[in-house]
Amino acid sequence: MPRKTINVFMIILMVFSLAGCTKPRQPDPVDPTPADTAAAMDIVDRDGNLLGQIPADATCTAIDGGIFYSLSHRESNYSTTSKTDYYCFLQETKQIHHVATIANQSYETTFCRSELDGKIYTLVLEGNPSDNEPDVLELLVIDKSSMQSATYTVSEHGFPYAYLTVADGKILIMNHEMTEPKHDVIYEFVPEQAKAIARKTFDADTDSLRAVCGYQDGLCLFNFHPDGSSDQKISLDFYDTDYSLIKSQPFSRAAIDSIVENIVFTDRQDAVNELSMYVSHFSISDEGYLLYENFGMVRLAYNIQTDEVILIKNDTYSVSFGSGKPVLYRVIYEDDFRPEIIEITNGDPVLHTFSPADSIHRMLWSLSHSPSGTWLATMYDSFPLSTASVQLLLWSD
């Protein structure tokens, strides 16, 4: 079960273009047990009852009442693109619905799959990122009520590590436009117009965005300033609902010092360089508790109002996927095999108990949470993962 990893083919360059198109398709229910069960994983509830099976190489995320997953079919290990199919498994009916196919996909931002008002949203990149030709960034939307899907072109000059989030009932997308000169763009998907609209454009030489999230009634951008001084290279930029800047504040000095102290960096400049990496999770609660994870070594929580560091972890921990309240969980185990799930509650890290469905699959490798409280845990029985037995544990609050 893949976690948040970087594909070596994906490091490329950025531009601005906008178009919209839809490709609706009809629902396609299939049997919940795959035809080839030689490489399948069981879906079970908290009591260990079998709910269904899906292929073991599926990339899965919890959605309300079920699982959203994808299967990529590469011609070889050296292929940079693949035909990728998308499915929804519904716990109530135990049915699997084939909801979409992307014919020439090179990357999907699985780390920021989102759900809003009965629809699932994810970003996919179409095209070969190694051929120096523009690649199309598309928004894939699945309507769970009809199991129909549609794709909308966000940019003709897409970048793999784009970012998608739900903010104040809106779907926001950040893209590093692959053009010269380079620009970063914040798009808003407007369903009534069936397209993504560019709302803010930034010169990437001075404002190189890493992520966007909702905060209170507006939004916040995680902004890296390549030309800034050491203490000014990272900022949190707050905007209102009209995309007007309210304020910009430097990233927490206390958090940077904590990174140096706890995650084996030699000085503050190394820590700032680490924070300039691409981001796999960025959120701020209405109370001001920031939760951050990058594709490197840092997992961090701090209070943006008091500058107090709540939690600092390395890459043996990860942040949950999905649109539910995010939590941290331990991925790399010591000999005790006890899962750790940590929730930030009232500014404090709260450790939650977690019980696997059986005594065999005890290693928590991936965790996701839906808006209405459906949880999905990917559980392994041993290392190495390539030879391990895997199980999907599905439950609701």
Residue 164 has pLDDT above 50, yes or no: yes
Token look-up 């796999």 returns: 280
pLDDT the model gives residue 395: 97
Average pLDDT of the segment spanning 201-207: 94
pLDDT the model gives residue 5: 44
pLDDT the model gives residue 84: 96
Q: Is the CB of residue 168 less than 8 Å from the CB of residue 217?
A: yes
Which DSSP state fits 322? S
* Domain ranges (residues) in the chain: 8-396
Domain 8-396 fold is Methylamine Dehydrogenase; Chain H (2.130.10)
Return the minimum-mean-pLDDT range out of 225-229, 320-324, 368-372, 379-383: 225-229
Alpha carbon distance 27, 8 (integer Å) = 35
| pLDDT over 70 percentage in the chain | 87
Please report, for residues 103, 237, 302, 344, the alpha-carbon distance to residue 311 in angstroms, rounded to integers and kept in the order given: 42, 22, 7, 9
Residues 6 or more apart whose Cβ sits within 8 Å of residue 77:
none
Alpha carbon distance 251, 380 (integer Å) = 37
Average pLDDT, rounded, for the chain: 88
Residue 357 has pLDDT above 80, yes or no: yes
Q: What is the pLDDT of residues 24-70, one digit of tens each?
A: 333 344 444 444 444 899 999 999 999 999 999 999 999 999 999 99
Torsion angle, alpha carbons of 325, 57, 110, 162, to 10:
160
- Smallest Cα–Cα separation from 262: which of 294, 235, 299, 295? 299
Alpha carbon distance 214, 343 (integer Å) = 19
- Smallest Cα–Cα separation from 41: which of 19, 71, 8? 71
pLDDT the model gives residue 382: 79
pLDDT the model gives residue 15: 29
Q: Is the CB of residue 377 less than 8 Å from the CB of residue 367?
A: yes
Place 335 in a pLDDT band, splitting at 50, 70 and 90.
low
Alpha carbon distance 129, 176 (integer Å) = 14
**Whole-prediction pTM value?**
0.89
pLDDT the model gives residue 64: 98
Q: What is the pLDDT of residues 279-327, one digit of tens each?
A: 999 999 999 999 999 999 999 999 999 999 999 999 999 999 999 999 9
Residue 17 has pLDDT above 70, yes or no: no
Average pLDDT of the segment spanning 101-106: 94
Place 260 in a pLDDT band, splitting at 50, 70 and 90.
very high
Return the minimum-mean-pLDDT range out of 3-7, 250-254, 326-330: 3-7
Find how far residue 18's CA is from the centre of its chain: 23
Residue 152 has pLDDT above 90, yes or no: yes
Place 114 in a pLDDT band, splitting at 50, 70 and 90.
very high
Q: What is 226-288 written as a DSSP string? A: TTS-GGGSEEEEEE-TT--EEEEEEPPHHHHHHHHHHTT-SSHHHHHHHHTS-EEEEEE-TT-
